[in-house]
Structure 1
C-alpha cells in the first residue's frame, strides 16, 4: 500500500504546477506553493570476472522506478516550508538464490526491498543577505553530500545558516545531526576501510538505508553529537574561486577541505580556455577517537592533495588530474593516513565512476577525461570518456597493486519530450581488489537511467 500511495503522489505531481511567489498571508503561503519532482527509472547490470578460472564469475542486475515528489510553500515575510517524499520500487529482479545471478543492491533498500521515506521536511527563513534552513534536507558540500549516483540520494537532518553580506564572499555555518543513507551506500555493506574512504560507513550499514540515524551511529557505530561545519567561499576576483571548509565530527575527526579553481585567457587563441584546480584535505582525530578499534590504533593524521589542469575549446573539454594520499607504515592503523569521508562526500578529482581508491592510504591516482557537447549538430547530447589509474600502497588496509577504471557517460535531453533525460553510463574495472588467494576481480557495468523532471 505504501508504494501505491507514493506512486499516486508522483502522478499528482505530473498534473500540478503552480508558480512560487511571495504570499500575502498564511493561507496563500500554501495555496501559492509549488509542486515539483522527478520520476526516475534505473537499470543496472554488472558482469564480474575473476582472474582465477576456479572462481565463479557472476552477474548482478537490478531495475527500479521511483523518484521524489516535493512541495514548497510560497514565501511569507521571508518564511517558507518544504517537504519531499522519496521512493524506490524494484521490478523484474533476478532470483537471488541462484549462484550466477544476484540482485544489485544499490537501487533498493534493506534486504533488496522497495521503500519510501519522508526525505525532506524543513523550514526556511531569509532576511536580506542571511538565510536559514533547518530540518531534513539535501546537503551538497565537499565532504558531506547527496552523492546521487543511483536511485535515491543521501539526505541529512541539518541546520544551515548562510550569509553573503561581504561582496564576493559566502559564509556558511551548519550542524548535521542525522544521516539517511541513499541506495548507493549499500555497495559498501561490509563497511571497513573501503566504505569509510569511499563516502560511506566504516561499519556495516547496508541495512541502515531508508532511515535517519545519528551521524556517529551511522559512520562508526557509536552515537555522537553530530558534525559541525563552517565554510567560506570567495568569488570576488573574475575567473577565480577559493573555498575552505571545516568539518568537526565530534569524537571522530576534524577535516579541513580547501580548493582553488582558476581559468584564464589563452595567448594563442581566444577559443581556447585553459583552467586549473587544486584541492587539499587534512584530517586529525578528536575527542574519544571513535575510529580506534575499527582499524587498530585509530590515530588519524592524514593528508591528501590533488591537482587538475585542462582546457575548453568550444564544445570540447579535456583535463588530466593527479592525487596523492599519505602512506601508512607497517604498524599504522589502516585509517591512520587515509582520508575518512563517511557521509557521502567524494570530491576527489581522480575518482572513477565506481573505483574510489584515491582516499586509501598511500594511493597515487591519475585520471584523464574528455567531454563533447554535440549541440551544434542539433541534438542536446553530451558524451564523456575517462580513464583512472590507482597505484596503491601495500599498507592501506584493503588491497595493493594497481587498479584501473575506464568509463563513458552519454546524456541526451529529448527535444520531443520536454524535461525527459536519457542517460547511458558504463564503467570497466581492472584489478579492483585482490583476495587472500591472490585472485583479482574486475567487471563490466552498464547503467541506463531515465529522468523525467517536473
Structure 2
C-alpha cells in the first residue's frame, strides 16, 4: 500500500513535468548531484525602478521526500530506538528582481506537509523520527498538532558595485561552517549581513554577521547556538542533531551569561598559484567558541586524462567561555547542570579547546571519480558546528553520521560514476561510499556511539524537463556498546522526487 501511495505521488509529479519548456537548452535552474539547486539564469540590469520588479523572475519547485529508518534493535525500553518513517510533500516559490543601479531583491516562500497519515509516525512518536524529522516541525506538532507549515525562509536586498556586493536579510549562506543543506523540504537559512568582494585577483573574501538561524524543520528564526528555550522545550532554539546540548538557555542563565548570540564567519578563497586552491575560514560565537580552519587542494595532471588532487584540512577550535557553561561534550553530559562522578572519558570537563585534521586523495577522469580520506579529532573536546556545515564534509562524513566527537578516527572510500556523462544511461549517476568509524569507547558514558562501518549508496536520475529522482540507502553495522547493548546498527532508506519550473 505504501509503495502504491508513493507511486501515485511520483505519477503526479511526472504529469506536472509535461508542462516544462523542453525547448530551453539551458534551464533556469537545475539540481546538482547532492540535489542542491544551481541557478543558471538570473534577471539582468534594468533602467528604471519599475522594471526592477516587472523584469524579475520566478523560480518554482515541487518536491517529495520519503524516509524509512529500520533499527537492528528497536527495543524502545532498552535502547530508546523505535523504527520510524516520514513523508513530506511541498515546494517553494522564489522571486528575484532585476538589478537597478546595483540594487536587487529576492524572496523565497517554502511549504511542507505530511498529508498521508499511513506514511508518518503518530504524534506521540515524533521524538523517535530520525532523518525524516525535517519534513515537519516537531515543535509545532507538539504545541498545535499541525503537520504542515510554511515560512518565508529567504527575504533580502542586495547591492553590488564593481566586484563587491552586500546582501542583508534572510538568506542562504554556504560556507565551511554554514550550509543550506537543502536535501529535505526547506533549507537552513540565516538572518545576516554578508559582504563579499573579488577585488583582489583570483581571491574571494567574505564576511558574514549572522544574528539568527532557521533550521530546516523550524517555522521561525532563532538563536544560533542556544539549546532549548526559557520554558525548557527541547525543540525550540537550536535543536540541530549536532547541537551542543550543554549550551542551553538555563545553563547560560545559571552562568550569568547572555542567552542571545551571533555567529561571525569570515572566509577567503584563493587560486593565485596554478592548480592550488587555498581556503581559510574563521568562525566565532563571541563569548562561547571560535575556530580557524585552513584547507589546501592541489590538482596534479596524470597521463591518460586522469587528475589526482591531494587535499588537507585542519580546524583549530578555541574555547571563549562556552566550556565553562556547557562542558566538553556535545551531549551536554559534562555541563554545569550535571554532576558526573568522573569526566566520562574526557580529559578536561570544562573546555572546548580542540582540533580536527583530515586528508584525502581524489582521482578523476571524465565520468569517473574516486576518493579516499581520513580524519582524526584531538582527544580533547567535541567539535561545535551546529550550522549544517559538517566539519568532516567532503572528506569522511557519511550520510546521517557525526564523526567529530573527541578522539574519533574515520577512514572512508568513495566511488562516483556519471553514466550520463559517459554516454551510457541518460541522466543517471551513482555514488557509493564506505566509512570505517572508530569512536572512543571510554566516552560512551558521555553519549558517544560505538564503532561502526557504514555503506552509503546514492542513485540519481535526471529525467529532463526539470524532473529529478534520487534513492539513498545507508547500511550501518555497529559494535555493541560497552554495556553490551546493541544500539547503533540500522538501515536507512530515502526516496526523493523534485520538479523544477
Q: What band does the TM-score fall into relative to the shorter chain?
A: 0.7 to 0.9
1:434 Cα deviation after fit: 3.4
User: 1:242 Cα shift?
Assistant: 0.4
8 Å CA contact 2:126, 2:138 repeated in 1: no
For 1:197-212, list aligned pairs within 5 A: 207-208=235-236
Residue 115 of structure 1 aligns with which residue?
149
Matched, 1:96 2:122: yes
Residue in structure 1 matched with residue 90 of structure 2 by the alignment:
66
Alpha-carbon separation, structure 2, partners of 1:445 and 1:158: 35
8 Å contact kept, 1:22–1:75: yes
* Secondary structure class of the residue paired with 1:270: helix
Q: Quick one: structure 1 residues 79 and 285, their matched pair in 2 at CA, closer, same or farther if it must change by over 3 Å?
A: same
Q: 3-state DSSP class of the match of 2:50?
A: helix
> Is contact 1:423-1:450 (8 Å) kept?
yes
User: Is the Cα–Cα contact under 8 Å of residues 43 and 98 in structure 2 kept in the other structure?
Assistant: yes
Is the CA contact (8 Å cut-off) linking 1:109 and 1:210 kept in structure 2? no
Secondary structure (helix, strand or coil) at the match of 1:438 reads: coil
Q: 1:386 aligns with which of 428, 433, 439?
A: 433
Bigger proportion of residues as strand: 1
Deviation of residue 91 (structure 1)?
2.1
**Are the aligned partners of 1:109 and 1:209 in contact in 2 as well (CA < 8 Å)?**
no
Q: Which residue of the partner structure matches residue 426 of structure 1? A: 473
CA contact (8 A) 2:227 2:238 kept: no
SS at match of 1:117: strand
The equivalent residue for 2:351 is 299
Give SS of 1:141's match.
coil
1:253 corresponds to which of 277, 289, 303: 289
Task: Name which of 458, 463, 470 aligns with 1:414.
Answer: 463
2:372 paired with 1:320: yes
Deviation per CA, 1:303-357: give whole Å up to 9, x if none.
10000013113311111100000114xxxxxxxx21110222214111110111x
Unaligned runs of 5+ in 1: 1-10, 186-198, 329-336
Shift of 1:402: 1.3
Q: Would the alpha carbon gap of residues 101 and 48 (structure 1) be closer, same or farther in structure 2, given more than 3 Å must change?
A: farther
Aligned to 1:45: 68
Answer yes or no: is the 8 Å Cα contact 1:183–1:209 preserved in 2.
no
Q: CA separation of 1:436/1:66 partners in 2, compared to 1, >3 Å: closer, same or farther? A: farther
Change in Cα spacing, 1:340 to 1:202, as seen in structure 2 (3 Å) is farther
Q: Distance in 2 between matches of 1:219 and 1:32?
A: 46
- What is the TM-score when the length of structure 2 is the normalising length? 0.75
Aligned to 1:147: 181
- Whole-angstrom distance in 1 between the partners of 2:237 and 2:273: 42
2:277 corresponds to 1:229: no
1:98–1:345: structure 2 CA closer, same or farther, 3 Å change rule?
A: closer
The 1:217–1:47 alpha-carbon spacing in structure 2 relative to 1, beyond 3 Å, is: closer
Secondary structure of the residue aligned to 1:106 is: helix
Q: 49, 61, 70: which is aligned to 1:26?
A: 49
Partners of 1:285 and 1:299 within 8 A in 2: yes
Alignment partner for residue 309 of structure 1, among 344, 351, 361? Answer: 361
Structure 1, residues 348-384: CA drift from partner, whole Å, max 9, x if none?
A: 111110111x210000001111011102114111100
Partners in 2 of 1:95 and 1:246 — Cα distance?
A: 40
Alignment of 1:152-163 (within 5 A): 152-163=186-197
DSSP 3-state at the match of 2:385:
coil
Identify unmatched segments of 5+ residues in structure 2. Answer: 1-15, 22-27, 29-40, 142-146, 253-258, 336-348
Q: Does 1:277 align with 2:300?
A: no
Q: CA RMSD in A?
A: 3.3
Question: Do the aligned partners of 1:110 and 1:206 also contact (CA within 8 Å) in 2?
Answer: no
| TM-score between the two structures when normalised by the length of structure 1 | 0.82
What secondary structure sits across from 2:448 in the alignment?
coil
- The alpha carbon displacement at 1:423 in A equals 0.5
Q: CA deviation at 1:393?
A: 1.1
CA distance in 2, matches of 1:393, 1:446: 28
